[in-house]
Amino acid sequence: MRKFWIIVTLFICELAIAQEAAIQFEQANQLYRSGEYQKAVQMFEQVIKNGYESSALYYNLGNVYFKLDNLPASILNFERAKRLSPNDDDINYNLRLANLRVIDKIEPIPRLFIINWWKSFVNMFSSSEWSWVAIIFLWVAAICGAFIFVLRSVTFQRLVFVGTVIALFIVVLSSINMFQRYQSEQKEQWAVVFSQTVSVKSAPDAQSTDLFVLHEGVRVEFLDAVGEWRKIRLADGKVGWLMVEAVQVI
């Protein structure tokens, strides 16, 4: 019984802190509206420091940085927002706008349309949303399955059986999507270049030859790591090594 009360107390504390974060978030938005971007940045960063996140939070912070002309930070936060809500229109629009200001123009390798469809289907929900879909349909399947044994009419039994199969199919599909999204959300495999200029090397060694130069705001994908060096790939398929200090993980 004592344990129960401890849990309840913790839960209430949790709620109170969450309440505070929400208030801070609201205050930061107010600062943004009044044009006090520098203060707004501090407030948003405080919310993040307290361990909270949401796509709206990152999106708003990205907006503030954009207004402050801090391009890489703006892109980083838009990318973080996008990671949580990949299909959000506002986020994608602002990210595109910010990317236009990036010096390097990187043409992404075109993907097969079917892969794009699948990607945007997977990105429809976040991993937890997908997990909810999976759980709900798992319940539906279980209840339908039970009904097969309860119902006496063969017709109804068949109907319920078909329902069970469909529900189970949805469970499998959403579980796959859940895992895919979960991976892309959890793995630290994307980063944004923060150095104004950085020479990408051919090997994890400062003496190796320069392959190309990147400027702030470019998104790179991590492929490998050796000490402080990261092997990166650009959207257009170029591969090279750079120091981890030049980038920030999304």
Partner 1 sequence: MINIKHNKKTGLIFLLLFSVVIVADAQDATFTTSVDRNRVAIGEQFEITFTLNGSGSGSNFRPPSFNDFLTLSGPNQSTNMQFINGAMSASVTYSYVLQPRAEGKFVIPPAFINHGGKQLQTQPITIEVTKGAPQQKQQSKQSQQESDIGKQIGDNLFLKVVVDKARVYQGEQITATYKIYTRVNVINYSMTKVPSLTGFWSEELDIPKQVQLSTEVVNGKQYRVGILKKAALFPQRSGTLTIDQMEVECVVQVQSRRRSNDIFDQFFNDSFFGNVANVSHKVRNQPLNITVLPLPAADMPAGFGGAVGKFSMEAWLDKRQTKTNEPVTLKVKISGRGNLKLLEAPIINVTSDIEKYDPKISDNVTKQNDQIAGSRTFEYLLIPRHPGDQKISSVQFAFFDIEKKSFVTLSSSEFILNVEKGSETAPTYAVGISKEDVKLLGEDIRFIKSETISLRRKVDTFIGSLMFFVLSVTPILAFVGFILYAKRREKLQGNLILVRNRKARKLAHRRLAEAKKFLDSKKKEEFYTEISRALWGYVADKLGIPPSDLSVDFVRTTLERRSVPIEVINKLTSTIEICEFARFAPATDAVQMDQAYQETVELISTIEEKL
Residues that bind partner 1 (CB under 8 A): 18, 21-22, 25-26, 29, 32-33, 47-48, 51-57, 59-60, 63, 66-67, 90, 93-94, 96-98, 100-101, 103-105, 127-128, 131-132, 134-135, 138-139, 141-143, 145-146, 149-150, 152, 154, 178, 182, 185-186, 195-197, 199, 210, 213, 215
Name the residue nearer to partner 1 (CB basis): 195 or 244: 195
Give dist(CA 218, CA 213) in Å, integer: 11
C-beta of 198: minimal distance to partner 1 in Å? 8
Name the residue nearer to partner 1 (CB basis): 210 or 224: 210
Q: What DSSP line would sit under 137-203, residue for residue?
A: HHHHHHHHHHHHHH---HHHHHHHHHHHHHHHHHHHHHHHHHHHHHHHHHS--EEEE-SSEEEEESS
C-beta of 63: minimal distance to partner 1 in Å? 5
Give dist(CA 133, CA 11) in Å, integer: 25
C-beta of 114: minimal distance to partner 1 in Å? 25
Closest CA to 250 of 104, 108, 78: 78
Name the residue nearer to partner 1 (CB basis): 115 or 149: 149
Give dist(CA 215, CA 213) in Å, integer: 7
